[in-house]
C-alpha cells in the first residue's frame, strides 16, 4: 500500500496487486480531507456513502476530520490506465466534495478543507500514521466507516413467532428459487418500494395496484399498516420501451435477433458502430455498400432488419431513458415499472432485459452513484442467468454481478438453485428458498440460514 499527498493535502491511495515480483494492478482511490467543527454526531450519520469521520482525542488535541473518498477501483498497472483512472477519480472527488459541502449546510457544523486549515491542526491527522489506514472505504467489515441510515424489509415471522427483517442493502443481489416464488418476490418488492427503492419487473405483479383483500393474518405477522396498492407504470416494448441499438455489438445483435454470427451480421455490426437510432438507418448503411463480395450479405442483412421491423414494430427504434424507467431517488415510496414481454420470443425478451440493466448501469456509473440501493430489478427470464452459452448470456451474467456497486439491485427468480450461474450464487447477498405453503428458508450472506413464514402481501397478488 502507498499514500501520495499533493500540495493541497489530497491523498492518492494505491493498494498493489503484487504476484511475485510483478505488479499486475492496483486498487486505486482518492481522498479529500476536511477539518470538521460543531455537532459532529448528526452530520456523521447523514453524511452518506464514501465518507469517514475520524475523531482524535489526545492530551493536547481534541478534534474531528472528515474524509471524502472516491469509489475504489481496480486499475491495470499501465501508464495509460493510471492516467485515465486519475482523471476519473479527480472528477468524482470534485463532485462528491461539492455534494458534501451542500449537505453540511443542513447541520450545525463547519467544514474547512485541510489545505486552508491551520497547519498545526492538519498535522494532527496527516502526521498520525495509524490514522491513514482508516481512510480505506469498505463495504463490509469493521473499521471507521460512515453510518448511513438503512431501511428494513419485513419478510415475515420466524418459527418462534419473531418478526423477520433484513436490511435493504442485503438485497442487492438476491436469488429466489423454489416451486412457487410469487409471494417471496412480492414481499421483497413491497419492502423495497416502502423504503423508497423503485422496482423493475418483466411481467408479473398484474394486480399490484390494488390493496390486498386478505388482511385476516396481518396482526399475526406484525403488520401494523393498512393494505395498500403499489404505484406502477406499465411499459410496452416497441411503444414506450426499446432495445437501444447503441448498446449492441454485432455479437449481441446476432444473439438477440437470432440472425447468428455470419458475414451479414458482421456488416450490421459495422453499421452499429455509427450509433444508429433506428433500424432504417442500419438499412441505409447496408444499401450504400458497393463492394461486390459484400453486396449479397448486405442484402441478407437488409432482409433481417426489415423483417424485425415488421414483426416487432419500433422495438429497435427508440432510446431508453433511465428516469422514465426509475422514479426519482428521493421519493418516499418507489414505483414498479412493469415491462410486458409476453409477445416477444425468448432471445428478444433477453435483449430487453439486457438493455434495461445496461442502460441503468451506464447512467448510474456516469453519475458516480453510491451503492445505496435505488432500484430493484426482478429477472424472471429462465436461462438468462444460467451458464453462459452465448455472448448475450455472458454479458448479462457479468452485468448482474457488477451493478450493485452503483445501487442497482438484482433479484433472480428460478425453479432451482442449480439453474443459476455458480458465480452469481457465490456472490449473492441474499438467498431465499421457498417451500410448501408460505414457508421459506432465508440466508443473508453474513448470517446463518433460518426458516420463516412469509408475511401476507400488502397489495393484491
* Domains held by the chain: number: 3
The reply to whether 229 and 301 lie within a common domain is: no
Residue range 108-132: mean pLDDT, rounded: 69
- Sign of the alpha-carbon torsion through 393, 394, 399, 401: positive
Candidate ranges 11-20, 124-133, 243-252, 358-367; pick with highest mean pLDDT: 243-252
The reply to whether 169 and 197 lie within a common domain is: yes
The reply to whether 13 and 70 lie within a common domain is: yes
Query: 61 in a domain, yes or no?
Result: yes
Q: What is the mean pLDDT of the chain?
A: 84
Query: 157 in a domain, yes or no?
Result: yes
Range of the domain at 324: 152-241+320-454
Q: Is the pLDDT of residue 85 over 90?
A: no
Q: What confidence tens digit (pLDDT) does each residue in 235-247 have?
A: 888 888 899 999 9
Q: Is the pLDDT of residue 231 over 80?
A: yes
* The pLDDT value given to residue 75: 85
Query: 143 in a domain, yes or no?
Result: no
Q: What confidence tens digit (pLDDT) does each residue in 404-415 have?
A: 988 999 999 988
- Among all chains, which residue has been given the C-alpha cell 462528491? 96
Rounded CA-CA distance 280/316 in Å is 10
The reply to whether 192 and 332 lie within a common domain is: yes
* The pLDDT value given to residue 114: 79
The reply to whether 26 and 99 lie within a common domain is: yes
For 12, residues 6+ apart whose C-beta sits below 8 A from its C-beta are: 3, 4, 5, 6, 28, 29, 30, 86
The reply to whether 229 and 266 lie within a common domain is: no
First to last CA, the chain: 53
Model confidence, pTM: 0.66
Q: Is the pLDDT of residue 137 over 60?
A: no
The reply to whether 300 and 339 lie within a common domain is: no
Residue 329 pLDDT level (bands cut at 50, 70, 90): very low
Candidate ranges 18-27, 40-49, 50-59, 447-456; pick with highest mean pLDDT: 447-456
* The pLDDT value given to residue 269: 93
Grid cell digits, residue 183: 409471494
Share of the chain above pLDDT 70, in %: 89
Query: Interior CA angle at 299 toward 274 and 294, to 5°?
Result: 75
The reply to whether 410 and 350 lie within a common domain is: yes
Query: 408 in a domain, yes or no?
Result: yes
The reply to whether 232 and 119 lie within a common domain is: no
* The pLDDT value given to residue 101: 84
For 235, residues 6+ apart whose C-beta sits below 8 A from its C-beta are: 241, 325, 337, 338, 339, 340
Tell which of 89, 109, 135 closes a domain.
Answer: 135
Contacts 24+ apart (CB under 8 A), 5-9: 5/126, 7/115, 8/113, 8/115, 9/33, 9/113, 9/114, 9/115, 9/122, 9/126
Tell which of 100, 135, 170 closes a domain.
Answer: 135
Question: What phi and psi, each to the nearest 5 degrees, are found at residue 451?
Answer: -95, 145
The reply to whether 307 and 346 lie within a common domain is: no
Query: 146 in a domain, yes or no?
Result: no
Query: 7 in a domain, yes or no?
Result: yes
The reply to whether 180 and 288 lie within a common domain is: no
The lowest-confidence range among 3-7, 138-142, 244-248, 320-324 is 138-142
Share of the chain above pLDDT 90, in %: 36
Rounded CA-CA distance 288/162 in Å is 69
Q: What confidence tens digit (pLDDT) does each residue in 277-319 have?
A: 999 999 999 999 988 889 999 999 999 999 999 999 999 988 8
* The pLDDT value given to residue 143: 26
Tell which of 135, 168, 187 closes a domain.
Answer: 135
CATH of the domain at 226: 3.40.50.300
Q: Is the pLDDT of residue 17 over 80?
A: yes
Residue range 144-158: mean pLDDT, rounded: 65
Rounded CA-CA distance 118/9 in Å is 12
Residue 386 pLDDT level (bands cut at 50, 70, 90): low
* The pLDDT value given to residue 97: 86
Query: 141 in a domain, yes or no?
Result: no
The lowest-confidence range among 56-70, 304-318, 414-428 is 56-70
The lowest-confidence range among 76-85, 208-217, 397-406 is 76-85
Q: Is the pLDDT of residue 41 over 80?
A: no
The reply to whether 251 and 229 lie within a common domain is: no
CB-CB neighbours of 165 under 10 Å:
13
* The pLDDT value given to residue 136: 52
Residue 146 pLDDT level (bands cut at 50, 70, 90): very low
Q: Which of 303, 300, 380 is closest to 346 using CA atoms? A: 380
Query: 34 in a domain, yes or no?
Result: yes
Amino acid at each position: 500500500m502507498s499514500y501520495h499527498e499533493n500540495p493541497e493535502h489530497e491523498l492518492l491511495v494505491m493498494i498493489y496487486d503484487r504476484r511475485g515480483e510483478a505488479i499486475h494492478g492496483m486498487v486505486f482511490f482518492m481522498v479529500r480531507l476536511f477539518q470538521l467543527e460543531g455537532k459532529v454526531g448528526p452530520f456523521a450519520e447523514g453524511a452518506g456513502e464514501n465518507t469517514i469521520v475520524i475523531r482524535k482525542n489526545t492530551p493536547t488535541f481534541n478534534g474531528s476530520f472528515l474524509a471524502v473518498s472516491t469509489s475504489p477501483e481496480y486499475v491495470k498497472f499501465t501508464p495509460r490506465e493510471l492516467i485515465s483512472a486519475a482523471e476519473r477519480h479527480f472528477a468524482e472527488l470534485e463532485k462528491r466534495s461539492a455534494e458534501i459541502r451542500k449537505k453540511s449546510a443542513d447541520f450545525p457544523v463547519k467544514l474547512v478543507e485541510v489545505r486552508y486549515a491551520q497547519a498545526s491542526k492538519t498535522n494532527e491527522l496527516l502526521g498520525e500514521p495509524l490514522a491513514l489506514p482508516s481512510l480505506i472505504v469498505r463495504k463490509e467489515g469493521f473499521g471507521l466507516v460512515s453510518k448511513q441510515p438503512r431501511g428494513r424489509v419485513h419478510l415475515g415471522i420466524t418459527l418462534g413467532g419473531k418478526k423477520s427483517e433484513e436490511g435493504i442493502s442485503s438485497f442487492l443481489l438476491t436469488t429466489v428459487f423454489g416451486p412457487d416464488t410469487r409471494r417471496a418476490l412480492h414481499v421483497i418488492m413491497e419492502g423495497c418500494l416502502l423504503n423508497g427503492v423503485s422496482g423493475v419487473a418483466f411481467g408479473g405483479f398484474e394486480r399490484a395496484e390494488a390493496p390486498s383483500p386478505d388482511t385476516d393474518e396481518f396482526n399475526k405477522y406484525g403488520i401494523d399498516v393498512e393494505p395498500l396498492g403499489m404505484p406502477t407504470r406499465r411499459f410496452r416494448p416497441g411503444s414506450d420501451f426499446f432495445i437501444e441499438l447503441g448498446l449492441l455489438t454485432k455479437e449481441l445483435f446476432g444473439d438477440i435477433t437470432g440472425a447468428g454470427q455470419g458475414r451479414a451480421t458482421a456488416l450490421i455490426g459495422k453499421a452499429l458502430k455509427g450509433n444508429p437510432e433506428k433500424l432504417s438507418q442500419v438499412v441505409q448503411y447496408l444499401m450504400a455498400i458497393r463492394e461486390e463480395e459484400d453486396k449479397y450479405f448486405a442484402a441478407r442483412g437488409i432482409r433481417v432488419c426489415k423483417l424485425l421491423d415488421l414483426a416487432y414494430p419500433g422495438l429497435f427504434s427508440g432510446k431508453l431513458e433511465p428516469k422514465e424507467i426509475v422514479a426519482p431517488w428521493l421519493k418516499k415510496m418507489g414505483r414498479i415499472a412493469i415491462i410486458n414481454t409476453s409477445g416477444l420470443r425468448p432471445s428478444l425478451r433477453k435483449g430487453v432485459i439486457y438493455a434495461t440493466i445496461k442502460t441503468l448501469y451506464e447512467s448510474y456509473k456516469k453519475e458516480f452513484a453510491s451503492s445505496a440501493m435505488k432500484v430493484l430489478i426482478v429477472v424472471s427470464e429462465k436461462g438468462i442467468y444460467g451458464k453462459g452459452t452465448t455472448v448475450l448470456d455472458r454479458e448479462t451474467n457479468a452485468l448482474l454481478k457488477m451493478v450493485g456497486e452503483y445501487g442497482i439491485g438484482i433479484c433472480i427468480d428460478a425453479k432451482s438453485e442449480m439453474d443459476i450461474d455458480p458465480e452469481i450464487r457465490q456472490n449473492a447477498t441474499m438467498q431465499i428458498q421457498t417451500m410448501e405453503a408460505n414457508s421459506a428458508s432465508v440466508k443473508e450472506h453474513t448470517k446463518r440460514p433460518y426458516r420463516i413464514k412469509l408475511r401476507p402481501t400488502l397489495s393484491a397478488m
